[in-house]
Amino acid sequence: METKPTVNEGVDTVCEVTAYHSHAYKHSYFLREGDRIAVISPSAYPGEEQRDAVMKGLEGLGYVPTEGRYTVGTMRTIENVTEDLKWALEDPEIKAIYCVRGGTGSSEDLDYMGLAPIYSGKKLIIGFSDIVTFLSAWTICGYPSIHAAMASAFTDLSEESAAVQKQMMKGEIPSYRCEGSSYDRKGTAEGILIGGNLSVLLTVVSTDYDPTTLKEPYILFLEETEEDMEHLYRYLTVLKHLGILKKAAGLLFGEWTDRPAKCLTYSGSSRGGEFKSVADMISRQFLSDLNVPAAFGFPAGHSSIHYPLLFGSKAKLCVSEDSYTLEWE
């Protein structure tokens, strides 16, 4: 079968950690050697090799991974999935939740389970992609969460970003400095970092776990994979019409991976010329009437270069002429 050409954006952005600082919750919320971590898959089923990679990887970092009852298999119900979630949140011996993979289904889990177990559990969760639904719920409940690689953290994640993820899990929070692009919008923004996978975020909007309903300023991070220019445009238009882009104190765009190189129905030819990239499309179609800082190409998303982000915690984005920085309180 012929493989259609795809394009990746953001994966080659030069990014460096300029400093680390301890989070205020470090000793009570983040991880220490010997802590027990629940290994579950509340989204789609992972393969056994993915599960094994997480179990062995966490053990190699000095933690005690404990697998949920319904992490892998051939069939499970919504009751099974939420049973694993509630166990992870309610068991006093479990310190954190590490998700094996994303996929689909997380919004259904939260619709069924509700927010109460999260409020009372107060435990760190690590994951991204479809797990963004849970990261959003954690934000609504007032708890930080880590937007980071899952099984791939122990298989094909870049050495640099894997090292940063290891530190963030322990409550050592990085300050990033990234090279800028011609599409960046200069300025400084402060607010709670929210967002994640663009299409998943749309399934969260107007629910009880919608982080865009925060009463305080937010910085919105977005990334996506395997979506063409037309779908990205439509998703962003929804956020625009709902006022979510305008409400943001700042915008941070991540990786756009495995995007079909050709989109016959939406190329930008009727909007002042062909779009050179997703960044070009966003800049021309969505930023012209927004007076907020915006930065492109943060290396986080569906690739082997994935620097972790601390969601649900106050961050500061500073965009200058040729670079930008991101740091947390």
* Distance between CA atoms of residues 22 and 1, nearest Å: 50
Q: Within a domain: residue 292?
A: yes
- If you average pLDDT over residues 107-129, what whole number do you get? 96
What is the Cβ-side half-sphere exposure of residue 285, based on CA atoms within 13 angstroms?
29
205, 181 contact by CB (below 8 A) = no
* Distance between CA atoms of residues 246 and 287, nearest Å: 9
Backbone angles phi, psi at 211, to 5 degrees: -70, -15
Q: pLDDT-derived band of residue 180, with 50, 70 and 90 as boundaries?
A: very high
Give which of 146, 138, 241, 256 is closest to 197, Cα–Cα.
256
Q: Within a domain: residue 154?
A: yes
What is the Cβ-side half-sphere exposure of residue 153, based on CA atoms within 13 angstroms?
33
Q: Within a domain: residue 1?
A: no
Strands 15-22 and 172-179: antiparallel
Query: What pLDDT, in 10s, does the model give residues 31-69?
Result: 999 999 999 999 998 999 999 999 999 999 999 999 999
Q: Within a domain: residue 157?
A: yes
What's the total number of domains in the chain? 1
Q: With a cut of 80, say whether residue 3 has pLDDT above it.
A: no
Q: pLDDT-derived band of residue 73, with 50, 70 and 90 as boundaries?
A: confident
Domain hosting 84: range is 6-328
Q: What pLDDT does 223 receive?
A: 98
Residue with tokens 């069939």: 75
Q: With a cut of 70, say whether residue 199 has pLDDT above it.
A: yes
Q: With a cut of 80, say whether residue 148 has pLDDT above it.
A: yes
Query: What pLDDT, in 10s, does the model give residues 151-160?
Result: 999 999 999 9
21, 264 contact by CB (below 8 A) = no
Q: Within a domain: residue 142?
A: yes
Q: What pLDDT does 104 receive?
A: 92
Q: Within a domain: residue 195?
A: yes
Give which of 142, 133, 116 is closest to 29, Cα–Cα.
142
Q: Within a domain: residue 192?
A: yes
What number of other Cβ atoms are within 10 A of residue 143's Cβ? 21
Q: Within a domain: residue 313?
A: yes
Can you give the CATH number for the domain in which 207 is found? 3.40.50.10740
Mean pLDDT of the chain: 96
Sign, CA torsion 89/94/97/100: negative
* Distance between CA atoms of residues 327 and 20, nearest Å: 9
Predicted TM-score (pTM) of the model is 0.97
- If you average pLDDT over residues 175-185, what whole number do you get? 97
- If you average pLDDT over residues 161-170, what whole number do you get? 98
Extract the runs of DSSP E, i.e. beta strands, from the chain.
Answer: 6-9, 15-22, 36-40, 64-67, 94-99, 124-127, 145-147, 172-179, 187-197, 218-225, 250-260, 294-295, 309-311, 314-319, 323-328
